[in-house]
Structure 1
Amino acid sequence: MRTAVDPRAMHSFAEFYPFYLSEHGNRTCRRLHFAGSSLSLACLAMLLATGNGWWLLAGLLCGYGFAWAGHFGFEKNRPASFKRPFYSFMGDWVMYKDIWTGRIKF
């Protein structure tokens, strides 16, 4: 059973990131985050290449859709983005980098 931690009580990203990682212990959840982030980057590239604003919406749907499916379907928790959206967004990209560099198991 997890202890109730309120991420709003954290005052720095350095304090928040270990909590963020604890909320991503399920491997499938991490993989869905990784897939959603990768697709979001592809959508960003398409936005820049075409100038079509619909790619921005597609990128947001991919990123958040995959992440939230991981949380609700596999991790069985609520995304921290509901309480700390900016730190959670930062955490997504730091975790993405950490997966690429092998610091976090894919």
Structure 2
Amino acid sequence: MSQFASFSDFYPYYLSEHSDRTCRRLHFIGSSLVIGCVVALVVTGNPWWLLAALFCGYGFAWIGHFFFEKNKPATFRHPFYSFAGDWVMYKDLLTGKIRF
């Protein structure tokens, strides 16, 4: 397992693990649904929305990795950096820095 000195060292690796457009799109959909689930959790107070958020976030991402990217999700090896990478990539997709 390789070690990264910082998130800025990790992020280029993270992007290389997401080179397939369909995988990136599935990550974006899953992350968008996570935001919706968190909003629903806050509005309703129903804790089941937290479970739904986990299912949406990881479910869409893992489908992208296993079926399109054909690799193991980075979260298995680098859970904290990977979580941050998901949201930085989401922002980069949303702002057009990375192509859908």
What is the TM-score when the length of structure 2 is the normalising length? 0.98
Q: Where does residue 79 of structure 1 map in the other structure?
A: 73
Q: Root-mean-square deviation (CA), in Å?
A: 0.6
Q: 1: CA distance between counterparts of 2:83 and 2:13?
A: 14
Paired positions, count = 100
Which segments of structure 1 move beyond 3 Å, counting only runs of 4 or more? none
Unpaired stretches in structure 2, ≥5 consecutive residues = none
Identity in percent: 67
Q: 1: CA distance between counterparts of 2:42 and 2:75?
A: 26
Q: 2: CA distance between counterparts of 1:86 and 1:11?
A: 13
Unpaired stretches in structure 1, ≥5 consecutive residues = 1-5
Q: 1: CA distance between counterparts of 2:89 and 2:9?
A: 15
- Which one of 7, 14, 22 corresponds to residue 13 of structure 1? 7
After the TM superposition, which of the residue ranges 41-50 and 8-17 deviates more from structure 2?
Answer: 8-17
What is the TM-score when the length of structure 1 is the normalising length? 0.93
SS at match of 1:9: coil
